[in-house]
Amino acid sequence: MAQIRIQNVCKEFGPFTAVQSSSFTIEDGEFFMLLGPSGCGKTTTLRMMAGLELPTSGEIFIDGEEVGMKRASQRDIAFVFQMFALYPHMNVRRNISYPLVSQGMKREEVRTRVTEVARILRIEHILDKPVGGLSGGDRQRVALGRAIVRRPKAFFMDEPLGALDAEFREHMAEELRALHDRMGATTVYVTHDQLEAMQMGDKIVVMNHGVVEQFGRPQQIYDWPATKFVAQFIGSPSMNFLDFEGMIGINGNSVDLGGIKVKVPAAREGRAGRLTLGVRPEHVSFRDDAVYRGRVSAVEYLGTTQIVTLATQHGELKARISSARTVREDDLIGLDFDTRTLSLFDAETGKALI
């Protein structure tokens, strides 16, 4: 098992900066997600940790030891590139034992290890089958088995479920997480899917344009987004943003949304100017006597809840409310915000103020 720390790590490809001065720590045994949109630098960050790419500057530590100049093969990690990459002419047992045999490990030891891995992955019954005829899920388990059998310090996975259809993807995500909980090995997992990151991760790093925007537990990131980018990237539908000219103080007070006062939590520092109020759709409620109003432009039925889109004086706003309430297009509705859960950002920098 391993603790992995990256400190002020940068990566440049010629004039292009793919990763800018990134720092975060992955604790021993964590299931850690590198999350962000395409091209934000997740894969490059993972490859640098794995030793497949050299940082332009900065340091990488594994269990306290600086490994920047160590090759991938010396870092004792398993990189699960593509779970379906198996040797087609070998059976399951030989596929799993291959990394050990090629290291020259004794037959007895190989046998014991493969049996143990098969038990962990619950694939004892297919050990002597050819991989050709296996189902997608079993192929995936065998590929994982090949990574686990070496007992590396950490597992690195780059969008391992990317090629799967939605239903199977969800099933394998649960299985991967359960496997991690049984083994407890540090796992670093790259994804652009915020839901996958929230469901699977102990911690998440959110990246954008090569910059670490935030790093923390899923709930921390959801409830206290550090930037507007994180706030809109995490959660579906996205957080609503209401721009206004105003002032906030450190004692917690109200902001003026065009004549309507909304109570906000205390800010870290007083600020005046262009501000953005962030409200998650599930924190908007309908209240007939509320002064702030919106006109319904669309209703999307989702079973127990519905997403209602409204036109307000601050633009479009989405509310997630119970389907028990009947809502029709063109209705004029009074809106209330759960003031304990609001976010507030500097409109220019996008940085959170509370």
Around Cβ 175, how many Cβ atoms within 10 Å?
16
Residue 192 binding ligand ATP, by CB under 6 A: yes
Nearest to ligand ATP of 38, 251 (CB atom): 38
Stretch that binds ligand ATP, among 35-43, 80-88, 226-234, 284-292 (CB under 6 A): 35-43
- Mark the segment that binds ligand ATP (CB under 6 A) among 36-44, 275-283, 301-309, 313-321: 36-44
* Min dist. Cβ of residue 18 to ligand ATP (A): 3
Q: Decide if 111 contacts 124 (C-beta within 8 A).
A: no
The minimum distance between CB 192 and ligand ATP, in angstroms, equals: 5
Please select the residue that binds ligand ATP; options are 3, 21, 23, 43, rule is CB under 6 A: 43
For position 55 contacting ligand ATP by CB under 6 A, the verdict is: no
The answer to whether residue 44 forms part of the interface with ligand ATP (CB under 6 A) is yes
CA distance readout (Å), 327 to 269, 281, 284, 307, 312: 40, 16, 14, 10, 16
Looking at the Cβ atoms of 117 and 197, the one nearer to ligand ATP is 197
* Cα–Cα nearest to 286, from 232, 315, 314, 323: 323
Neighbours of 13 (CB within 10 A): 11
Alpha helices in 90-249 (DSSP H): 92-102, 107-121, 136-148, 166-183, 194-200, 218-223, 228-233
Please give the Cα distance from 264 to 207 (Å, whole number): 28
> Among residue numbers 8 through 27, which ones bind ligand ATP (CB under 6 A)?
13, 16, 18
Residue 174: how many other CB atoms lie within 10 Å? 12
Site string for ligand ATP, 305-324 (x = CB under 6 A): --------------------
Residues in the chain: 354
Binding site for ligand ATP (CB under 6 A): 13, 16, 18, 36, 38-44, 192
